[in-house]
Chain A
């Protein structure tokens, strides 16, 4: 069975782009979520192997979603997706339990590197 990924972002455009990068490498996108709340629900329901998580979203931010998910599953593998200049937020997310991060605009190689690294943890 392939690696099952949950993609969380409030912009359809970003979800599609990330999904494409991952699908191309053989990862399975099991679900998408457009806010933190939905992400937590989907995580509970699907127990994906990996989550990509946007930081700034309406209805529960990415960081709060990380905290919730880590509560459910301390070993959850979450990669943050951040805009440039949000260093403090990224660090907060890492402290909350996220395992890595990528910065928009994406370079596919960077995304894949982070994904592979996190899956090996």
Chain B
């Protein structure tokens, strides 16, 4: 039994650790359902439940530990190859996971402390109370607070006990059955144990208010500016001691900056990892067969953006399952594979992160939209014929517009794409929908990089630094000036048997050519939509993570840049819009 003051700390650790297993566990079970022969998956599920069991046992969470034990028992014959994976087993495990999740993420729980006094004549009062406690535990949640279990089970006579429970009425009712119980007092009325779901979803992390993070970043910007000022002043004084102290200080600020940047970033897996289970449950409810593909979970987004896109994404995925994918019989009739496919894919695009949700379902019936729009008086009869598919689809983004006649309890009525559009608008993103009737629907979400972290290569031209997103970079190399050939006056380089056009960043940026250099030119080999080319810079610096910020309004229209980043030393560094550079 853990001492109560320490208990809180253990509880938190327990929660965060268990939660860190849950997504994985869900995904494993979904995987097992698809591939019941995967012994490695069974072993892994078994291992996780075993770990949770022993942790729960140590915490004294009997119910949870017993549950894990039961699942181990169920898995055992499957593991030995004596039994096959049954639907029942899958359901049991998923129910178990849900129970554990509810247990550890249970929001706002009112905890009542009850003081129970036994009659002074009660023989073996400790044993009496132990028996009572045992029975109570089978009825509702109860924890013994005082005395410790060792004292309770010792030979000493103790007549007063304090327990905590979320259900004092039930306890009081039960205690009436014991003539040994003299008195039950409710001690503290409401001691709240508040567990915020979001907090616990991020294992081993503190919950931080986004506003605090923003404030931290602003302070950091101030620090960077004053640092530059200090550097200048120290240079003027020419004091070596001050200078070396300043260098340490500088480095510390750079480190701090990196950490703050990192803190804000969360991989999309935070959202994407929930989808296998989510889609599986929805599909099962609706009697559909769905194969879910997820690509790009490792792409990181600013924490606040992750929060803003979670609901719209869930909504779109739910739409795809509910309205997109047809029931198996219908698909069969139409000559499609009985199992529908939904793909969720994240990729880094020019200036955006793009998330695509596509399904090979029924697509959108634009005729139906026309009828609805007429019915709702949004268009007149004579207009109807003239509207393009695109115009018709745009009606779906209107609040309350739904083409579904029947209300499904999943997607509801009219909670439509307008919600998604609004969410995207709030973060400066965009949403785009393509649909082919009978073939499926594709929805693209464009999420701005603002505050998003990207990996980039930093180069120097003249006195300025430029960043090139690594997504475009194939390699860095030096090219011998004498190996440049010209076709129709355009410079080309043959690199590893491939002819590639050479672009000089100086020319693109309207700077003068450099003269009197050596023959080796620092270059980057880049790739845009499958086409390769070579970009010439003055100096190749390094690659690293950068935080992308919007360009100031005055230079926003310059097509060569997608954004700007602040480097460790506080200098701005423009991010090159690679596809636009070479057009």
Residue of A nearest to B129 (CB): A91
Indicate whether A117 sits within 8 Å of B155 (C-beta atoms), given known contacts A87-B126, A100-B131, A101-B131.
no
Chain B contact patch, size range: 10 to 19
B134 and A94 form a contact (CB under 8 A): yes
B155 and A88 form a contact (CB under 8 A): yes
A25 within 8 A of B: no
B177 and A87 form a contact (CB under 8 A): no
A44 within 8 A of B: no
CB distance from B42 to the nearest CB of A (A): 27
Residues on A with beta carbons closer than 8 Å to the beta carbon of B131:
90, 94, 99-101
B127 within 8 A of A: yes
Residues on A with beta carbons closer than 8 Å to the beta carbon of B124:
82, 84-87, 90, 101, 103
CB distance from A39 to the nearest CB of B (A): 20
A91 and B130 form a contact (CB under 8 A): yes
Residue from B123, B127, B179 within 8 A of A91 (CB atoms): B127
CA distance A14 to B69 in the complex (A): 40
Number of A-B contacts (CB under 8 A): 45
Indicate whether A117 sits within 8 Å of B153 (C-beta atoms), given known contacts A87-B127, A90-B124, A100-B131.
no
Residues on A with beta carbons closer than 8 Å to the beta carbon of B128:
101
B179 and A110 form a contact (CB under 8 A): yes
A45 within 8 A of B: no
B178 within 8 A of A: yes
Within 455-490 of B, Cβ neighbours of A (below 8 Å) are at none
Residue of A nearest to B121 (CB): A107
Residue of B nearest to A104 (CB): B123
B337 within 8 A of A: no
Beta-carbon contacts of B160-202 to A below 8 Å, as 1s and 0s? 0000000000000000011100000000000000000000000
Residue of A nearest to B135 (CB): A121
B154 within 8 A of A: yes
Within 119-168 of B, Cβ neighbours of A (below 8 Å) are at 123-124, 126-128, 130-131, 134-135, 153-155
Residue of A nearest to B152 (CB): A91
Residues on A with beta carbons closer than 8 Å to the beta carbon of B155:
85, 87-88
CA distance A121 to B126 in the complex (A): 21
Interface hub of A85, A91, A109, A121 (most chain B Cβ within 10 A)? A91
Residues on A with beta carbons closer than 8 Å to the beta carbon of B153:
87-88, 91
Residues on B with beta carbons closer than 8 Å to the beta carbon of A88:
153-155
CA distance A99 to B134 in the complex (A): 9
Residues on B with beta carbons closer than 8 Å to the beta carbon of A101:
124, 127-128, 131
CA distance A117 to B179 in the complex (A): 11
A90 and B135 form a contact (CB under 8 A): no
Residue of B nearest to A103 (CB): B123
CA distance A88 to B157 in the complex (A): 12
CB distance from B367 to the nearest CB of A (A): 63
CA distance A101 to B131 in the complex (A): 8
B127 and A94 form a contact (CB under 8 A): yes
CB distance from A85 to the nearest CB of B (A): 7
Residues on A with beta carbons closer than 8 Å to the beta carbon of B126:
87, 91
Residues on A with beta carbons closer than 8 Å to the beta carbon of B127:
82, 87, 90-91, 94, 101
Report the 8 A-B pairs with minimum CB-CB distance, sorted nearest first.
A103-B123, A90-B127, A87-B124, A91-B153, A87-B127, A91-B130, A87-B126, A91-B127
A residues in contact (CB < 8 Å) with B: 82, 84-88, 90-91, 94, 99-101, 103, 109-110, 113, 117, 120-121
Besides A94-B131, A101-B124, 11 more A-B contacts (Cβ < 8 Å) are A87-B126, A87-B127, A87-B153, A90-B131, A91-B130, A91-B153, A94-B127, A94-B134, A99-B135, A101-B127, A101-B128
**Selected A-B contacts with CB under 8 Å, 10 pairs:** A82-B124, A84-B123, A85-B124, A85-B155, A87-B127, A87-B154, A88-B155, A94-B134, A99-B131, A121-B135
